[in-house]
Structure 1
Amino acid sequence: MKTMWQKKIKFLFTNRRWGDFACNFTAVILGIMLTFMGNAWIKERNTQRDVQNTLQLVKSELQTNRNTILYGKQRIEAEIHASQFLLKNKDHLSSVSKDSLNYYSNLPFQTSFITFTTNALELMKNSLLFPQIKDKKLGLSIIQAYASIKVADILYTNYQNLKKEKNEQLDKNPKIAQLFTQKLSYDLLWNYLLTTNEGYNLLVQIPNIVTPEAFDSLLDEIDATIQSIEEYK
């Protein structure tokens, strides 16, 4: 007894030409291949679309972090300038510009920490899109940019912590602590503080903790990465 498959083969050879069968078979194979290739193309296109969208989030986050680093750099510059101004004019504070004295006098006492974010980078990693970046140099550049952000965070945090320690030494001196409770003019306040080791050391140390220029190469690294993201296709 012949099987159903054998009957179909016999039917093809007895009722159709071999050429027709070959053409039909080829058409089926081509159809399967085109479908597979089409699905692969659509999948790749969708993946790259997701990569592009996530890269835009990374770009936005890098820009935000860049602005934060720039703020930190400018903050340090202002505090260094304040310390240098007070030291330079320590012998004649009563005769300097009142506006300048009012602006600079509080900066050495202030502590201001900053926060950086890595949410977009984590999203790209967790969604497994990071390996799908076609330009491997861009992937490396992104990693380096976030490493630069980490370095900036460490530099700025260490600076503020060391300055905070110097201010705590001021507070531990009972005479200085009592002085802060009085409503003295800034020239009188600093005239006294500069006669103390704690006050003088605070102003001397601030310019020597970190140089603002240390942030420049970090900003350049981030700028280069942002540009590479903009050029990615």
Structure 2
Amino acid sequence: MKNELKQIMLQSTFKRRMGDFICNFTAVVLGIILTFAGSDWIEARKTDNEVKKALFLVKNEMLINREYIKDMMVDEVFQQRGALYLLQYKDSLSKASPDSLEKYCNFDLAPQGFLYTNDAMEMFKTSSLMPAIKDKELTTQIIKTYKDMNAAFVTFDDFTDTKIEYIRRLTEQAEALDFFDKNGSYSPAELWNILFRFPGGVQALRIIADMHNHPEQIYGRYLKQIDETVAAIDEIYK
């Protein structure tokens, strides 16, 4: 009888100790899990904030490029209109408006100061944060937008380089140089009366007028792409 009671007491003590051990073990395991879960959440939160900051810089860089692309569009449209206006009156410059000739006659031979920038994007790519963007379609969209922005600058550079080359050839004609040497000042009509004497005069203006058909549409597509990508970044990372 005593042995049976002793056995029961020992079993009861063992069960209590076992129960305490299981409870303590469970508490320890849950604590470890919660610690790792909390650590993962904190790390994910930190990464998300870093991505948000990086995308803020990328977005601002896109907007800077957007302003340049808009200015390039305005500049090319203006020069195209000027070339078309001069061609319209190439045989009768005396009938052209003096104000319009003054406005359109000068084609700047200095390269424009439009510089494509992608520093923020390059830093973002090398920081290993890009894979952490929530929406993978946004990643693709950003990459495409930078590719299109670069294409916009290449488009304008091609236009500018071609224009400069043709106008330089024209103004370096012997008769044109002689005119510049003898005349310290001259009206736009006098200048183009000289330049239209050469086949290159009409050719240069046609190149400027026809190189890009509807530049508003060409550059407008690039501007639209930037606007859509900026809106997508704002939507996902408010």
TM-score under structure 1 normalisation? 0.89
SS of aligned partner of 1:107: coil
Q: In angstroms, what is the RMSD of aligned CA positions?
A: 1.8
Partner residue, 1:185? 187
Partner residue, 2:200? 198
Partner residue, 1:121? 121
What percentage of residue pairs aligned between the two structures are identical?
Answer: 35
1:43 alignment partner AA: E
1:227 alignment partner AA: A
Partner residue, 2:53? 53
1:77 alignment partner AA: V
Shift of 1:121: 0.4
Q: 1:119 to 1:111 in 2, by over 3 A?
A: closer
2:153 alignment partner AA: D
Task: Check the 8 A contact 1:108/1:203 in 2, yes or no.
Answer: no
What is the CA deviation profile of residues 106-144 of structure 1, one whole-angstrom value per residue up to 9, with x for unaligned ones?
A: 036564252110011011111111111010010000000
Report the Cα distance in structure 2 between the residues aligned to 1:42 and 1:109, rounded to whole angstroms.
57
Matched residue count: 221
Report the Cα distance in structure 2 between the residues aligned to 1:78 and 1:221, rounded to whole angstroms.
23
Task: Check the 8 A contact 1:51/1:133 in 2, yes or no.
Answer: yes
Shift of 1:98: 2.3
Shift of 1:14: 6.8
Report the Cα distance in structure 2 between the residues aligned to 1:156 and 1:32, rounded to whole angstroms.
60
Task: Check the 8 A contact 1:83/1:108 in 2, yes or no.
Answer: no
Partner residue, 1:209? 211
Q: 1:96 to 1:109 in 2, by over 3 A?
A: farther
TM-score under structure 2 normalisation? 0.87
Shift of 1:99: 2.1
Shift of 1:97: 2.6
Structure 1 gap ranges (5+): 1-12
What is the CA deviation profile of residues 62-113 of structure 1, one whole-angstrom value per residue up to 9, with x for unaligned ones?
A: 0110111111111000000000111112233234332221111103656425
Structure 2 gap ranges (5+): 1-12
Report the Cα distance in structure 1 between the residues aligned to 2:110 and 2:204, rounded to whole angstroms.
12
1:159 alignment partner AA: F
Partner residue, 1:7? none
Asked whether 1:87 is paired with 2:95, we answer: no
Matches for 1:54-203 after TM superposition, within 5 Å: 54-107=54-107, 109=109, 111-181=111-181, 182=183, 183-203=185-205
Asked whether 1:223 is paired with 2:191, we answer: no
Report the Cα distance in structure 1 between the residues aligned to 2:76 and 2:50, rounded to whole angstroms.
39
Report the Cα distance in structure 2 between the residues aligned to 1:34 and 1:109, rounded to whole angstroms.
68
Task: Check the 8 A contact 2:69/2:219 in 1, yes or no.
Answer: yes
Report the Cα distance in structure 2 between the residues aligned to 1:136 and 1:78, rounded to whole angstroms.
40
Q: 1:58 to 1:137 in 2, by over 3 A?
A: same
Q: 1:208 to 1:124 in 2, by over 3 A?
A: same
Shift of 1:185: 1.1
